[in-house]
Amino acid sequence: MDTATILLISFLFLLISFLYSTVGFGGGSSYLAILSLFITDFNTIRTHALLCNIVVVTIGCFIAYRKGFLSIKKAIPYTIFSVPAALWGATFKLSQQSFFLLLSGALILSAIALFFQIVKPVKPLEEGTKVLVRSIPLGTTLGFLSGLVGIGGGIFLSPVLNLLNWEDTKKIAGIAGFFILVNSIGGIAGLAISGTVPISFPFTACVIGAVMMGGFAGSMISMKLFDAIVIKRLTAVLILVVGIKLLVEHI
C-alpha cells in the first residue's frame, strides 16, 4: 500500500473514531466499510477494525469510568458469556458478501430501534427484574454476532438498552464501550486461534495512532458537551448511514 493511501485511510479513521467515540462506540463498522474500499484481504480488514476498536473504547472506558458513567458491576452481566461467544463467532468463515449483508442488516435494524426510542420513549423495566436473566442472553447473542462480523457489538447493544430504558443514556454509552472492548478482545483471540491476524507496518501503526487521537478527543467532548437526546440522535444517524451504505454496496 502506498504512502498516500495510508495517510488517507488514517485521516478517515481519525474522523470516524472521533465521531463514534462521542456516542461510546469504537467505530468498527465504519472501519470495515473504509478498509473494504482499499483492501481485498478479508482477514486484514477484520483484524484492523478490531484493533482500532480496542484502542478507541479503552480510552472511552477509562474516561467514562473516571467521570462516573461506567459501572463495571452493571457491565459485567452483559459480558459474562459474550466474550466466549464473540471468540466462537470470530472462528466462523464467511464470504465477503455474506459478511457485509449480515452486518448491514443488523445495523439498519439497530438504527430503527433507536429511532423509535427517540420519538416514543419506552417505560423503564420494573426494579425487581433480575439483572442476570435479562442481561446474559442479550449479551451472549450480541457477542456472537459481534465476533461473526468483526466489530465490538456495542453498536447493537446500545440501541436495545436505549429502547428498553434499562439505564441512563450516558451510562448506556459506558456499558456499550466496555462491551465493545471485551468482545473486540475476544474477536481478536478468535482470529488468532484460526491463524488469521495479519499485521502490516507502517499501516497498522498509522491507523492505530489516528484512532487513538480521534478517540481521546471524541470521548472528552462527549462527556462535557452532549446531552442524552443528542447522543441518541447521533447514534441513530451513524448506524443508519453505515448500514444503508453497506447494503447498497454489497446487495
* CA gap 103, 245 in Å, rounded: 11
DSSP label of 122: P
What number is the average pLDDT over the span 53-81? Answer: 88
Least confident of 28-32, 112-116, 150-154, 246-250: 112-116
Grid cell listed for 201: 507496518
pLDDT value of position 14? 95
pLDDT value of position 189? 86
pLDDT value of position 223? 56
Query: What is the amino acid identity at position 13?
Result: F
* CA gap 61, 184 in Å, rounded: 13
Least confident of 97-111, 112-126, 195-209: 112-126
213 vs 119, which has greater pLDDT?
213
Residue linked to cell 447493544? 157
Helix, coil or strand: residue 46: helix
pLDDT value of position 248? 87
- My answer on whether omega of the bond before 202 falls inside 30° of 0, hence cis, is yes
pLDDT band at 128; cut points 50, 70, 90:
very low
Query: What is the amino acid identity at position 88?
Result: W
Question: Are the beta carbons of 191 and 45 closer than 8 angstroms?
Answer: no
Question: Are the beta carbons of 179 and 157 closer than 8 angstroms?
Answer: yes
* CA gap 219, 233 in Å, rounded: 17
pLDDT value of position 23? 75
Q: At what angle do helices 3-21 and 228-250 cross, to 10 degrees?
A: 140
Grid cell listed for 174: 459506558
Residue linked to cell 459474550? 82
Does the structure show a pLDDT above 70 at 225? no
Question: Are the beta carbons of 114 and 162 closer than 8 angstroms?
Answer: yes
Domain span holding position 196? 3-250
Residue linked to cell 463514534? 20
pLDDT value of position 123? 54
Residues 6+ apart with CB under 8 A from 106: 145, 149, 156, 243
- Total domain count, the chain: 1
Grid cell listed for 61: 472506558
227 φ, ψ (degrees, to nearest 5) = -95, 180
The pLDDT mean for the chain works out to: 81
Q: Which residue, 15, 115, 125, is CA-closest to 31? A: 15
Question: Are the beta carbons of 232 and 167 closer than 8 angstroms?
Answer: no
Query: What's CA 186's distance to the chain center, in Å?
Result: 13
pLDDT value of position 230? 67
* CA gap 220, 60 in Å, rounded: 8
114 vs 59, which has greater pLDDT?
59
> Which of 61-65, 156-160, 239-243: highest mean pLDDT?
61-65
